[in-house]
Amino acid sequence: MAQTITQKILSKAANRKFVDAGESVWLNVDILLTHDVCGPPTFDIFKEEFGSDAKVWDPKKIVVLPDHYIFTANEHAHRNIDLLRQFAKEQGLEHYYDVGSDRYKGVCHVALAEEGFNLPGTVLFGTDSHTCTSGAFGMFGTGIGNTDAAFILGTGKLWEKVPESMKFTFNGLMPEYLTAKDLILQILGDITTDGATYRAMEFDGEAIFSLPMEERMTLTNMAIEAGGMNGIIAADNVTERYVRARSSKPYELFRSDPDAKYHSTYSYDVSKLEPVVAQPHSPDNRATVRSVQGTKITKSYIGSCTGGKLTDFVMAARILKGQKVSVTTNIVPATVKVALDLEHELYDGQTLKQIFEDAGCSIALPSCAACLGGPADTVGRSVDNDVVVSTTNRNFPGRMGSKHAGVYLASPLTAAASAITGKLTDPRDFL
Amino acid sequence: MEKVIQGKAYVLGKNIDTDQIIPAEHLVYSLSNPEEVKLYGKYALSGVPPEQGGLPAGNIPFVQEGSFASEYTIIIAGPNFGCGSSREHAPFALKVAGIKAIIAESYARIFYRNSVDGGFVIPYETSEQLNQLINTGDDLKIDVEANTIENLTRKVTYTLNPLGDVFKIVEAGGIFAYARQENLMAQS
């Protein structure tokens, strides 16, 4: 029986030859990811259900990456880090990346990739909705809550309903003004925020396979914004090169069968697409940047698992080199690695860091920061009636802090161009 | 599980995401310390813009100022309830506030799983746009076995979509209770 890549991975994890869309199966989990917001309550449920002396199913398969509320004076947030530290010690979790130590990484989805935890053909569950990011590596990754995560901690298994797949094919050569963020915002405008609920979103086509891993991650990252269970891109030699540089663990490559069944298929010619934004207050409220050009903004924010990777900052630097920003512009590297790269990576003879500093941007320490608002003292948090252009992933009311703020989701190119003019600006004006 | 859920309706629109259900700044409180747990009730639905809370009139607070629980028992909402972040704090906060069931046109997957597997609230679906037919404050009665909801204020009864596969988990009170009942907890 023909299967999609998602079905094949889930078949393997269920010890079956074939799983059908719609059936519920028990899966063996390869990695469980958690962080400072959902880790402590997950550990509480684990102890309550399995006993206070219980041991996790496999300490090597649990990755704990604190990233949400790191650089804050909030005492409750500090307590959550203490709880992670304590549990990691009790359980001997070698993949715990402690805050305040040189092991600290930053935003979990980006760090998972950097540290070689993303392996084609594997199954990842995480207590964060953007766990779907890892699907860029030809693997299954999806978000769950604390109770489900506690169940995995004790058993290494979880039930899941095998999703139907939707296929999105991007043909043509990517124009220099277009980014993965524009592609996913395009899709969101077409299928809306519940257009892929309980389904897999599979990305295909020459434009997709021309993208570096980090750009592919931007696409799969926002599958959840359409309600998708997972986003997935089959692994190719770009993927294998990235993985092999970071891990020596075995992996398995899967591809969809040519006659696999899809819920629906969409096809795009990238040469005909334009830079777009998602207007307040929904990720599917798409408009071309040209059609809203001139809308005044008060802040530009470049960061998060979606838009705070090195490639995102290279794109921003292309626009910001030799320019000055006219509104507060926050540069928030996703991870410590990305922050270090800003100091070494050159664009046109200058480091990215120098380009951003000369342009008047402020560079923050790596964490999730204001993508999700966070405690009151979070860098870049929106206030009052802020109008923010942001490379992050959600713009529902209050997401970045203030309930009265409006957030335009955009590519790093658009966020950088708009930072210069103080108005929504098509990046082609600066390229 | 209760066979009948009765209480007042709180009506919302579509795409109520988990940041509106419990804003991220409140996720720092403990989910086990009783004093801190109360705060989840206090701040439940505090991220909903005021004019969109308590439809059709709007500007009806879900939790009164100074209180830690809501006077409402059943949420009626449009499509894609609970979209956004994976935080289980969302269905938890609604439960702490006193919500027992939600009736929406559809749910985002993670919120749905969390509600069922954590045994917090029953997430019913309907194919009718009940948030257009029910007003905030209406007295409602859900008959869990008959799969119906009666609007006692307006004397109308609607049919709910069957819970299907998840009914057994709901009935058991969550995934752990269900797994024990079905002997699924043995380590592999």
Note the CATH architecture for domain A5-247+261-267. 2-Layer Sandwich (3.30)
Q: Does B84 sit within 8 Å of A396, measured CB to CB?
A: yes
Residue A175 to chain B, least CA–CA distance (Å): 31
Q: Name the residue of chain B whose CA is nearest to A405's CA.
A: B49
Nearest CB neighbour to B185, from listed A69, A131, A155: A155
The residues spanned by each domain of chain A are 5-247+261-267, 276-429
Is the pLDDT confidence value at B165 over 90? no
Angle between helices A310-320 and A352-359 in degrees, nearest 10: 50
Tell me the average pLDDT across A94-111. Answer: 98
Query: Taking a contact as any Cβ pair under 8 Å apart, which residues of chain B between 125 and 144 contact chain A?
Result: none
Is B114 part of the contact surface with chain A (CB cutoff 8 Å)?
yes
Instruction: State both tokens at A182.
Output: 């524009």
Tell me the average pLDDT across B87-108. Answer: 98
Give how far Cα B98 sits from Cα of A22, A66, A80, B89, Å.
33, 31, 26, 14
Nearest CB neighbour to A145, from listed B32, B114, B179: B114
Q: Is the dihedral of CA B76, B78, B79, B85 positive or negative?
A: negative
Q: Name the residue of chain B whose CA is nearest to A146's CA.
A: B88
- Beta-bridged to residue A143, according to DSSP, are A126
Tell me the average pLDDT across A56-61. Answer: 98
pLDDT at B185: 77
Is the pLDDT confidence value at B1 over 90? no
Residue B111 to chain A, least CA–CA distance (Å): 8
Is the pLDDT confidence value at B188 over 80? no
**Residue A165 burial class via C-beta count within 10 angstroms: exposed 0-12, middle 13-18, buried 19 and up:** buried
Q: Does A397 sit within 8 Å of B184, measured CB to CB?
A: no
Is B51 part of the contact surface with chain A (CB cutoff 8 Å)?
no
One of 3.30.980.10, 2.130.10.10, 1.10.3720.10, 3.30.499.10 is the CATH number of A276-429, namely: 3.30.499.10
Q: Does A148 sit within 8 Å of B114, measured CB to CB?
A: yes
Q: Is the dihedral of CA A330, A336, A340, A341 positive or negative?
A: negative
For testing contact with chain A, the best of B51, B89, B113, B185 (most A CBs within 10 A): B113
Is B183 part of the contact surface with chain A (CB cutoff 8 Å)?
no
Is B181 part of the contact surface with chain A (CB cutoff 8 Å)?
no
Instruction: State both tokens at B53.
Output: 């809370």
Is B174 part of the contact surface with chain A (CB cutoff 8 Å)?
yes
* Percent over 70 (pLDDT), chain A: 100
How many contacts does A have with B, using Cβ atoms within 8 A? 140
Is the pLDDT confidence value at A148 over 70? yes
ipTM: 0.94
Give how far Cα A328 sits from Cα of A205, A247, A299, A300, Å.
38, 39, 5, 6
Q: Does A397 sit within 8 Å of B110, measured CB to CB?
A: no
CA distance A271 to B179: 51
- pLDDT tens per residue, range A334-389: 999 999 999 999 999 999 999 999 999 999 999 999 999 999 999 999 999 999 99
pLDDT category at A110 given cuts 50, 70, 90 is very high
Is the pLDDT confidence value at B187 over 50? no
Nearest CB neighbour to A373, from listed B25, B49, B89: B25
Query: Where does A51-192 have alpha helices with state H?
Result: 75-91, 108-114, 146-155, 180-191
pLDDT at B186: 61
Q: Does A147 sit within 8 Å of B86, measured CB to CB?
A: no
Annotation: CATH topology of B4-181: Aconitase; domain 4 (3.20.19)
Largest CA distance in chain B: 54
- pLDDT tens per residue, range A4-34: 999 999 999 999 999 999 998 999 999 999 9
CA distance A171 to A59: 43
Q: Nearest Cα to A381, choosing from A390, A389, A369?
A: A369
Please indicate whether the domains covering A5-247+261-267 and A276-429 agree at the CATH topology level: yes
8 Å CB contact between A175 and A47: no
